[in-house]
Structure 1
Amino acid sequence: MDYYDLIIVGAGPAGSTLAHSLQGSGKKILMIDKQSFPRDKTCAGWVTPAVMNSLEIDLADYSNNRTLQPIRRFRIGMMGQPAVENNHDEVVSYGIRRCEFDDYLLSRVDAPKALATAVKSIDRENGNWVINHTWQAPLIVGAGGHFCPVARLLGEGPGGHETVVAAKEVEFEMTPAQAEVCAARGDTPELWFCRDLKGYAWVFRKGNFLNIGLGREDNHKLSGHLEQFVEEMKASGRIPPDLPGRFKGHAYLLYNHAERPLVDEGVMLIGDSAGLAYTQSGEGIRPAIESALIAARVIREAGDNSAQALQAYGEAIAERFGTRATDADQGWQVPEWVKAPLASTLMRSHWFTRRVVTEKWFLHQQVPPLELAV
């Protein structure tokens, strides 16, 4: 049986960032992921300059043979009424393809990797965690998304008791004919809010790739809302009339609705496995990256792997992202004061759609860059 100081389950942005941040720490690390890389990961996929800076990514290097779509504008509207377009006069975000982005981050990690390997068992033996009866470590970190097997070790684990957001989306490379009739522009993602404010849809062009999707709190109505949205976008010429393949589904937890503990004896959760997606937008990449950087600092400084020593991570997350709300009636995306019929008027306002929806809810420009003491 192979021994490691740390095993990270999940090789997405959170797991890769944690492993990369711990390089040079002297810790022997193993990464496990059920998929091989590069993997097919459908995601609207935009990252702000703050994320790129936190990851210390050279934009010129990254854009070499990879999609990096500068974003300067947003079209925002409520379904059934005209959209408002705002020009931010500078690059406020970048569109990326997750299959490329995740593979790039993983390629920077020197640690051993067990890819295309499902976690079938996690057992506790003599103070260590043993995975698949093959690898053991005193500390394991769950970075495997909403259904991460490590999350099952904490609290009630993933299940029907959680209020999740379900989304369906598709991403494909357009043919020349499709690109010619697609009115959506690469530098202008489109966000369309459901009239009941329980979700929103998007149309996002990244170079010659097009991503279309919709996420809602009540997933039993998801397919119907998606079909209606797609038909409306086709009729208005925003997207091509012929879409290939089927829409893929996934689920995630919003920060204010998540109740999962973040740490326990020899266990930590980061990224979507911890339920850290921003409440107003559902975006998870920046919280994933920042939670991994915070976890790396705590792991470096912790004297041991006890729950007490690791609790510094939970405290740092609360300081960074705020204390989770306990009000079950809180809207998953928008505050109560934005409820209809006021929302219909607000979504036609250039000031509101720019300053509140885009800059605050989706770009989080009011949140300063993460600074970690050296």
Structure 2
Amino acid sequence: MDAYDLIIVGAGPAGSTLAKALEGSGKRVLLIDKAHFPRDKTCAGWVTPAVMEALDIDLAEYANALTLQPIRRFRIGMMGQPAVENDHGRVVSYGIRRCEFDNYLLSRTNTPKQLDTPIKSITRKAGHWLINDTWSTPLLVGAGGHFCPVAMLTGDGPGSHETVVAAKEIEFEMTHEQARTCEARGDTPELWFCRDLKGYAWIFRKGNYLNIGLGREDNHKLTKHLQEFVAAMSAAGRLPEALPGRFKGHAYLLYDHAARPLVNDGLLLIGDAAGLAYAQSGEGIRPAIESALLAADVIRQAPDVSAASLQAYGDAVAERFGHRRPVTEEGFEESLKDGFRESFQVPDWIKMPLASTLMRSHWFTRQVVTERWFLHQQVKPLTVGT
């Protein structure tokens, strides 16, 4: 039995960031993932400058070897009506391919890794966690996404009781003809909101790669919404014909709707395993990175791995992302006055025509939808004492 001070389950952005942040701490860490890297990851695939700053990534070095699509504009609309295009006059975000980005982050850490290793068993014995009857640790960190096996050990665990966002996405390299005829531009992602505002679709070009997807909280009609969106965009010339392959699905929790405990004795959850995706956009990369940095700070300083000692992490998450609370009609009405900041979901009585009118506004689509919901420009990059 190999003993470690800490085992991280999940080697995506959250897990690899935590492992990197703990280098030099004197702690013996093991990073486990069921996949072999590089691996495909269902995700629209863009990151803000705040993420690249928090990760201390040299943009020129990254772009020299990997896909880094500068984003200067956004094209935003409600399905069934014309889109509004806003030029920010500078680079406000970057398109990345998750297969490259995740592998890059993982390659930067010297932490021992066990990849292509599914978690078959987690047992508790004498204050330690035994993983696959092979590795032992007093502290187990769940960083394995929505269905992370460590999350199964906290609260009620992942299940039908949770209100999830379900998404389907495809990313592929276009042929020369597809690239020539596709009207989507690399520096201008397209966001198309469902008319009931329970989700949105996107078209995102990164050089010759094209990413198309749709996510909704009302997931029982997800495929129907996606098919209708693809048909409409193809007819309008926004998408090339004959899309290859099948759309891949994934699920995640929005921060306001997640009820998973973040800590317990010897347990801690980060990233999508903790349900930290932004409520307005569903973005999970920045919350994943920041939660990992917050966790590293607490792990370095905690006197032990009791829930009481680890609660400092839960407090830090609440301070950074706010206290979780569901959005009521009263709460939404108040948030409407402040630019829809709480959520893109609205009560039935206000959906139309107000929402469609706002989605035709350059001011609203730029300053609220883009800059506040998707770019979170009002939130300064995270700095912690790691």
Both proteins in one fold, TM over 0.5: yes
1:40 aligns with 2:40: yes
Residue 328 of structure 1, CA deviation: 6.9
Judge conservation of contact 1:168–1:250 (CA < 8 Å) in 2: yes
* Other-structure match for 1:334: 344
* Other-structure match for 2:225: 225
Residue 43 of structure 1, CA deviation: 1.3
> Of residues 341, 344, 353 in structure 1, which corresponds to 2:356?
344
* Other-structure match for 2:78: 78
Residue 302 of structure 1, CA deviation: 0.4
Which residues in structure 2 correspond to 1:155-234 (within 5 Å)?
A: 155-234=155-234
Residue 60 of structure 1, CA deviation: 1.1
Q: How far does the alpha carbon of each residue in 1:135-174 deviate from its partner, in whole angstroms, 9 at most, with x for none?
A: 0000010000000000011000000000000000100000
Distance 1:357 1:199 in 2: 13
Distance 1:225 1:186 in 2: 24
* Other-structure match for 1:6: 6
* Other-structure match for 1:368: 380
- When structure 1 is superposed on structure 2, of 337-346 and 3-12 the one drifting more is 337-346
Partner of 1:16, secondary structure, is helix
Q: How far does the alpha carbon of each residue in 1:261-315 deviate from its partner, in whole angstroms, 9 at most, with x for none?
A: 0000000000000000000000000000000000000000101101000000000
Residue segments in structure 2 that go unaligned for 5+ positions in a row: 333-341
Judge conservation of contact 1:198–1:333 (CA < 8 Å) in 2: no
Give the partner amino acid of 1:298: V
Give the partner amino acid of 2:272: D
Distance 1:105 1:29 in 2: 16
Please, what TM-score do these two structures have when normalized by structure 1?
Answer: 0.98
Partner of 1:256, secondary structure, is helix
Give the partner amino acid of 2:365: T
Give the partner amino acid of 2:98: R
Which residues in structure 2 correspond to 1:1-374 (within 5 Å)?
A: 1-327=1-327, 333-334=343-344, 336=346, 339-373=351-385
Judge conservation of contact 1:120–1:132 (CA < 8 Å) in 2: yes
Distance 2:197 2:326 in 1: 20
Distance 1:150 1:17 in 2: 18
Judge conservation of contact 1:51–1:289 (CA < 8 Å) in 2: yes
Give the partner amino acid of 1:161: H
Judge conservation of contact 1:144–1:273 (CA < 8 Å) in 2: yes
Judge conservation of contact 2:257–2:325 (CA < 8 Å) in 1: yes
Partner of 2:220, secondary structure, is helix
Judge conservation of contact 2:198–2:345 (CA < 8 Å) in 1: no
How many residue pairs get matched? 374
Q: Identity percentage over the alignment? A: 74
Q: How far does the alpha carbon of each residue in 1:227-274 deviate from its partner, in whole angstroms, 9 at most, with x for none?
A: 000001100111101100000000000000000000000000000000
Give the partner amino acid of 1:218: D
Residue 327 of structure 1, CA deviation: 4.7
Judge conservation of contact 2:327–2:343 (CA < 8 Å) in 1: no
Distance 2:251 2:352 in 1: 26
Alpha carbon RMSD of aligned pairs, Å?
1.3
Give the partner amino acid of 2:351: K
Distance 1:85 1:267 in 2: 45
Q: How far does the alpha carbon of each residue in 1:79-126 deviate from its partner, in whole angstroms, 9 at most, with x for none?
A: 000000000000000000000000000001111111010001110011
Judge conservation of contact 2:215–2:222 (CA < 8 Å) in 1: yes
Residue 340 of structure 1, CA deviation: 2.4
Distance 2:13 2:383 in 1: 19
Distance 2:105 2:321 in 1: 24
Residue 335 of structure 1, CA deviation: 5.5
Distance 2:326 2:93 in 1: 31
